[in-house]
Amino acid sequence: MSDNPVLERGDRGESVKQMQQILNQMGYDLGSSGVDGLYDEETETAVKQFQSEMNQQFPEAHVLVDGKVGNQTWAFLHKNKS
């Protein structure tokens, strides 16, 4: 999904909120702030957990567990979106 920007801690806005909504729907803990459009420490932790779990499910994908939401992480988020 090349339309999605690379997101990392400190970013804010609608793309962050979209990513948080997907993680939240999947049951990842975003902390007390929840879906607020701010890529904070809790969101980064949830992203790393998601990336790690994608590695366990799809070891051939070699997902980088860095807390950044790039093309590969976006692809898995969209794939897992309910």
* Beta bridge pairs of residue 32: none
Rounded Cα distance, 41 and 73, in Å:
17
What is the model's pLDDT at position 4?
A: 87
Q: How many CB atoms lie within 10 A of CB 15?
A: 18
Q: Is 67 helix (H, G, I), strand (E, B) or coil?
A: coil
CA–CA separation, 60 and 43 (whole Å):
25
pLDDT at 37: 98
pTM: 0.94
Cβ atoms 38, 12 nearer than 8 A: yes
Predicted confidence pLDDT, tens digits, the chain (82 residues):
458 899 999 999 999 999 999 999 999 999 999 999 999 999 999 999 999 999 999 999 999 999 999 999 999 999 987 5
